[in-house]
Amino acid sequence: MRELLLLGLLAVSAFVQTGTFGAFTNSDDVGAPPLKGSAQFDAATGQYRITGSGADIWGKADQFHYVWREMSGNLAITATAKFATDGIPHRKAVIMLRKSLDMDSPFVHLAIHGDGMPAVQFRNARADNTNTVDFPVEGPGTWTLKLVRQGTAITVWSAKDGAPLKELGHTLNQMGSPILVGLGVSSHTQEATNTVLFSDVSVEQLPAPAERRGTLGVFTNSGDVGGPAIKGAATFGPSSGQYRITGAGANIWAKQDQFQFVWREMTGSFAVTGTMRFLGQGAEHRKAGIMVRQSLDADATYADVVVHGNGMAGLQWRSRKGEDTNTFDLPIEGPGTFRVKLVRTGVRVYMYIARDGAELKEIAHTEVSFQNPVLVGLVVCSHNADASDTVLFSDVSVEDATSHRTMPAATDAKQRDR
């Protein structure tokens, strides 16, 4: 469901634990639980004793006690947590990133439940439902938890009873900055409180990742598919965030394809979004857009959201290796700057399109069965074996789409042939 990522991190500053709340600046209840919580910090031991009540940190709104500080950018928070009182198996002690103190605020946290179940939980937008990734229940104990934010990547580690920290994996989050970073406790009931002892707490500001020349931004590889006679090329400008992709090739169509591909390997559910425009003149049916593809074979299974040179957008797919391509095309609107988005959840592939600054709108979806991992990225095809075309992509993002929700009036394009 999520690709695993190893992060090499170097902390440049840690917050000294000398204030009333140690490394944090504030303490309060979120969501107005009937029983008030509290927090104490012992400067001599470096220990936080946090008492919280509340129905839960879950669903569309939360109730808990929170000790936090405001931060921006890349960061790491680590803490060892132990429940000091008995309670409901699903009471929670968490290290959290939260957009605001609103009870329905976006957040992401690493939680340990009273029964010893670790979980990564997150709410992507205000008042959305909470998503969860639960790990096996290991029983009560003393847990060390670590959460690192680097850009939009949230990576988490856990360890029980003094064992070495083990990376659990990562997800993607778009909360931006500033955010509230801290420790939380929820009793999972409005009729009782629970107390958690947090020790060995560290909060660190991390540097931005060093710029690496020659990289391809959020992607890892580029190359031609199908052996076009004219070689393509791709460059990424770290300062502008723009991709300049030149591709040739007869077409992305029928039983075989030729094009330039800038991609990364992914698994599970994801969303890729970008703004694109053709530079210069070319064939009416030259194509550029976003693709998910089983392999680099010319006849591989794929699905894409593309815009033609004449401004016609389409959802295309090849259901099996070596089969003909299927398509669902929209009315021609003429050339322009297009915002395109492809979402894959399970076997479904969703198409979103907007033109010249309009709001993205879900247009259609189809179903294509891929085997994980898949190749995900940006494509350019000139629709002419004797010429190449260049497309400028900007505002490109690759995000987790586990919680993707369909919009009304989406068209099911499954198995509609050109």
What is d(CA 113, CA 91) in angstroms, rounded to the nearest whole number?
A: 5
Quote the pLDDT of residue 181. 98
Burial 193-227 (b: 16+ CB within 10 A, else e): bbbbbbbebebbebeeeeeeeeebbbbeebebbbe
Quote the pLDDT of residue 405. 61
What is d(CA 297, CA 194) in angstroms, rounded to the nearest whole number?
A: 57
Indicate if the pLDDT at residue 187 is higher than 80. yes
- Which residues are within 8 A (CB) of 110 and not within 5 positions of it... i.e. 6 or more apart? 94, 95, 118, 119, 120, 145, 146, 147, 156, 158
Which domains, and CATH codes, for the chain? 13-205 (2.60.120.200), 221-412 (2.60.120.200)
Q: What average pLDDT does this structure show over 383-397?
A: 96
Q: Decide if 413 contacts 368 (C-beta within 8 A).
A: no
Q: Which of 32-41, 145-154, 291-300 has the lowest mean pLDDT?
A: 145-154
Quote the pLDDT of residue 1. 30
Quote the pLDDT of residue 6. 29
Q: Decide if 397 contacts 176 (C-beta within 8 A).
A: no
Quote the pLDDT of residue 247. 97
What is d(CA 38, CA 56) in angstroms, rounded to the nearest whole number?
A: 17
What is d(CA 354, CA 10) in angstroms, rounded to the nearest whole number?
A: 40
Indicate if the pLDDT at residue 414 is higher than 80. no
Q: Decide if 263 contacts 358 (C-beta within 8 A).
A: no
Interval 21-34: pLDDT, tens: 999 999 999 999 99
Burial 139-176 (b: 16+ CB within 10 A, else e): ebeebbbbbbbbebbbbbbbbbeeeeeeebbbbbbebe
Interval 75-90: pLDDT, tens: 999 999 999 999 999 9
Quote the pLDDT of residue 114. 97
Indicate if the pLDDT at residue 15 is higher than 60. no
Per-residue confidence band for 66, with pLDDT thresholds at 50, 70 and 90: very high
Interval 332-356: pLDDT, tens: 989 999 999 999 999 999 999 999 9
Quote the pLDDT of residue 213. 41
Q: Decide if 411 contacts 348 (C-beta within 8 A).
A: no
What is d(CA 52, CA 66) in angstroms, rounded to the nearest whole number?
A: 8
Interval 299-318: pLDDT, tens: 999 999 999 999 999 999 99
What is d(CA 164, CA 158) in angstroms, rounded to the nearest whole number?
A: 8
Measured between alpha carbons, how far apart are the two ends of the chain, in Å?
33
Structure tokens at 354: 């907007």
Q: Is the peptide bond before 178 cis (omega within 30 degrees of 0)?
A: yes
Interval 91-118: pLDDT, tens: 999 999 999 999 999 999 999 999 999 9
What is d(CA 137, CA 118) in angstroms, rounded to the nearest whole number?
A: 7
Q: pTM to 2 decimals?
A: 0.53
Indicate if the pLDDT at residue 292 is higher than 70. yes
Indicate if the pLDDT at residue 16 is higher than 90. no
Indicate if the pLDDT at residue 392 is higher than 50. yes
